[in-house]
Chains A and B, each alone.
Chain A
Amino acid sequence: MNDTTINSSQLGANSLVERAKRNQHRFWAFSGLIFLVIGFSLASPNFFQTSNIISILQATSVNGVLAIAATLVIITAGIDLSVGTLMTFCAVVAGVLLTNLGLPMYIGIPGALLSGFLAGALSGFFVAKLNIPPFIATLGMMLVYKGLSLAICGGRPIYFNDTEGFVDISTGSIIGHIIPAFPIPNGVLILFLVAIFASFILTRTILGRFIFALGSNEEALRLSGVNTDRWKIVVYSLAGGICAIAGILLASRINSAQPAIGQGYELDAIAAVVIGGTSLSGGKGTMLGTIIGALIISVVANGLRILSVPQEWQIVVTGSIIILAVYADQLRRGKT
């Protein structure tokens, strides 16, 4: 037996230290977020207002949901560049079903979700079965969805004026209804529900275990008798379905499906993932980190706008934050 090497009290203390260490990135990311919030609050009295906080959260909802989709794929050591235009495509599908065909919401919304799910499965098929590198497969699909969206709409937006209640999906507030002091928009509520769901998948289910194993050592997983191709397709499908949720949130917020937007969103989503401490080489990552990352991006954008910093410079700052966040992470790793 292993009598001398292990000492239980030492073990208890150590596992606490270990846990703190493991969560260190999120701790720093979270501190960064708090620091930004305090900084902007001091710089401008308009920043820390209920209405502004809610608008930050509202702005985070779409990017946050997309970032959740991207996180799932990135932990498998893949990448999904099509999240932005797929989101738009799903919004357009919703528009066709609800406005053009006049179908009710209980058909239109599931239909849009299904289209996202199937689109994700297609990317997964390319990656798993045809062995196309994820970067290439999803780059191709990014353009395909962009073109399809424009083709379906003939370049014009589809409005949801005839669908009663559609705007409420994102901008209404069920919570505000119950507790008037907290008028949290539904979009934000949905973001958090999706995050909790995805986090549950990652940490508590077989799928989650395999997502991490795919990213850490796919071959060892395959040689354990796991059908890795099938599970990869499942992951991309799930990510596609979550992109569709983002599409519906976005369409509902602007009350229209705009076929021309979408491209560029994937970069914000991936930025949020990376700031949140998920490794692009796979095998590591958390949903909480991703949400913090998405919040940091929104806070910076919002704060700089309030301080009247021109948009060009906002972009420069966001870019710098990505590099800073990853550098901080590397510093921490280098030390241990």
Chain B
Amino acid sequence: MNILVDMSGIEKHFPGVHALKSVQFELREGEVHALMGENGAGKSTLMKILSGVYTRDGGSVQVMGQDVDFAGPREAQDAGVGIIHQELSLMNDLTVAQNIFIGREPRNFLGILDEVLLNKNAKDIFEKMNVGMDVGAEVGTMTIAKQQMVEIAKALSYNSKILIMDEPTAALNDTEIQELFRIIDQLKADGVGIVYISHKMDEIKQISDRVTVMRDGEFVGVRDSKDTSIEDIISMMVGRDLELETEQKPDTSDNMTALEVKNLNRGKFVKNVSFSLKKGEILGFAGLMGAGRTEVARVIFGADRLESGEIFIDGEQKFIDTPSKAVEAGIGYLSEDRKHFGLVLGMDVRTNISLASIARFGSSLGILNEAKISKTATDFISKLDIRTPSEKQEVKLLSGGNQQKVVIAKWLLRDCDILIFDEPTRGVDVGAKSEIYKILRDLAASGKAIIVISSELPEILRLSHRIAVMCEGNLTGFLPANSSQEEIMRLATATMQSSNNKNNQISEMSS
């Protein structure tokens, strides 16, 4: 078998961070090679070096037997290295097709952009991927999952011999993930070597041939996937064994109602949604992409305006048309899209953590107590184990999972009574995931009412005390915590199977 990539002794320093310490990595033809490690272990950095985004401080890189020293992503692409970055990097105002072929647009004989051919080429790629997509739609109007599909299509369009996928499935649900795996199998058969980064452990067993594990910027080891258990990989990642907690779910049915919503409506994603949430309860929201879960959260939080419907908090009706009113009323919402809606990337960790609670750090004249902000931020940094050289580091320089922890810290600090977490563990490593689950449980135990939206069914099942399922904007039913994945999937596709009895289903299945 040919060796496509051979990296050895790779070194990389950032201000205050020794990100890679003599790391090695090898990729063979036709293999899927999983790259594993905790948040901030250096996975993305290593792959950015391979794809020409960063230059290395030391070590050597061979691509298909040639020593290479890429000056930029363009050179890497020409050498056959393609990458799907962890952070989506599409241009919001351009269409899907324009994004995919940016910088290599087809031109007609007059040298003028050939928009028709452009769209056709894009359509071909999605057809090959077996994914439905409106290639003329503006990317900015699409959900994260769709945008992720566009990134994947863009990477495929280069026909690279080496394809790096940095957490491609963080925003995808099971069906979409299976589609992606089918694409990966096809690529493998064509001899493409794939580097696969993910924090979803079950995927690793399913898709990868070999696993390389990193920890704190160091190479820990490489194994054949079929001879290695998930537990082994985890203990290589975190350097110790991680016990899976089993937790009794409390009965919250007699608790006071914290939030009740009636007949919420907005466009085609929120149709007559009604539910109530008890103090101390964790209500999971399951559903397929485009089911309207995020949209429901956004209207409750006042981020989008309601067309009709009523919201009651502690039994009192509230009119919430802006997020500031929602927060005043005690509702917090952690967005699924941390880059655009969760973080001010150019500002530092401490500012981001304090952003929703800044009044607490100001005097009556609005003068800030910087020492107190730093102290609070440092507390959260150690509590959530956020890997950053200091609380004054710009958030955009943190690894993806650590950025996610910063957003969580922001809402923990704000201390709302009702918390809506939209994909709270996106991009977060296994260990930190358990930490976050524990935090959510503790919050619930202390009487907070919590909604968790997640595209990962195991996460929903593990966390929720009760599960609400949505399909095409309708709330199709509630399930108890011990339901099976099949029962959830049935409700998640309920209105698709029987589109004519849509409306009577919604109202009465609510408990």
Contact = CB atoms under 8 A, between A and B. Distances in A.
Interface of A: 1-7, 10-11, 14-15, 17-18, 204-207, 209-210, 212-213, 216-217, 219-227, 229, 283-284
B387 A205 contact: no
B207 interface: no
Contacts of A17: 15
Contacts of A209: 351, 355, 358, 368
B328 A225 contact: yes
Nearest to A14: B15
A4 B18 contact: yes
B343 A217 contact: yes
B346 A220 contact: no
Most buried by B among A5, A220, A223, A284: A223
A206 B368 contact: yes
Given A5-B387, A204-B367, A219-B340, A225 B323 contact: yes
B133 interface: no
B341 A227 contact: no
Contact of B358 (A5, A6, A206): A206
B368 A204 contact: yes
Most buried by B among A11, A17, A226, A284: A226
B358 A225 contact: no
30 contacts: A2-B40, A3-B216, A4-B217, A5-B17, A5-B40, A6-B16, A7-B18, A14-B16, A15-B16, A204-B367, A205-B365, A206-B366, A207-B366, A210-B358, A213-B344, A213-B355, A217-B345, A220-B355, A221-B344, A221-B355, A222-B303, A223-B341, A223-B342, A224-B327, A224-B355, A224-B356, A226-B323, A226-B355, A227-B324, A283-B346
Which 4 A-B residue pairings sit nearest by Cβ, starting from the closest? A225-B327, A224-B356, A227-B324, A14-B15
A205 B362 contact: yes
B88 interface: no
Given A4-B217, A17-B15, A217 B344 contact: yes
Given A225-B323, A225-B327, A216 B345 contact: yes
A18 B15 contact: yes
A2 B41 CA distance: 10
B432 to A, nearest CB: 12
A336 B216 CA distance: 25
A116 B368 CA distance: 27
A219 B218 CA distance: 37
B190 interface: no
Contacts of B365: 205
Q: What's the interface size class on B, roughly? A: 35 or more
Contacts of B16: 6-7, 10-11, 14-15
Q: Is the interface of B mostly helix, strand, loop or mixed?
A: mixed
A223 B335 contact: yes
A220 B356 CA distance: 10
Contacts of B341: 219-220, 223
Contacts of B421: none
B325 to A, nearest CB: 9
B368 A205 contact: yes
A66 B388 CA distance: 40
A4 B328 contact: no
B410 interface: yes
Contacts of A220: 340-344, 355
Interface in B327-354: 327-328, 332-333, 335, 340-347, 351
Contacts of B389: 5-6, 11, 14
B414 A5 contact: no
B322 interface: yes
Most buried by A among B40, B347, B410: B347
A220 B344 CA distance: 6
A226 B356 contact: yes
A11 B385 CA distance: 19
B215 to A, nearest CB: 9
Contacts of A210: 358
Contacts of A217: 340, 343-346
Nearest to A283: B346
B326 interface: yes
A5 B389 CA distance: 8
A217 B302 CA distance: 18
Contacts of B355: 209, 213, 220-221, 224, 226
B356 A225 contact: yes
Interface string B106-141: 000000000000000000000000000000000000
B404 to A, nearest CB: 14
A10 B301 CA distance: 43
A225 B410 contact: no
B43 to A, nearest CB: 14
Interface in B363-394: 365-368, 370, 385, 387, 389-390, 392
Contacts of A219: 340-341
Nearest to B342: A220
B19 interface: yes
B457 to A, nearest CB: 27
B216 A5 contact: yes
B17 A205 contact: no
B91 interface: no
A77 to B, nearest CB: 12
Contact of B19 (A5, A7, A224): A5
Most buried by A among B341, B351, B355, B365: B355
A4 B214 CA distance: 13
A206 B359 contact: yes
Contacts of A222: 303, 322-324
Contacts of A206: 358-359, 361-362, 366, 368
Contacts of A223: 301, 303, 323, 333, 335, 341-342
B390 to A, nearest CB: 7
Nearest to A17: B15
B342 A226 contact: no
Nearest to B17: A5
Contacts of A6: 16-17, 389
A209 B326 CA distance: 21
Interface in B198-237: 216-218
Contacts of A226: 323-324, 355-356, 358
Nearest to A3: B216
Contact of B326 (A5, A11, A212, A225): A225
Nearest to B358: A206
Contacts of B362: 205-206
A31 to B, nearest CB: 24
B368 A2 contact: no
Contacts of B410: 224
Nearest to A5: B17
Contacts of A225: 323-324, 326-328, 332, 356, 414
A14 B17 CA distance: 10
Most buried by B among A3, A4, A210: A4
Contacts of B344: 213, 216-217, 220-221
A336 B137 CA distance: 35
Contact of A216 (B15, B216, B322, B346): B346
Interface string B32-72: 00000000100000000000000000000000000000000
Given A4-B21, A209-B368, A220-B341, 4 more contacts: A206-B359, A213-B344, A213-B355, A225-B356
Contacts of A212: 347
B102 to A, nearest CB: 20
Nearest to A1: B385
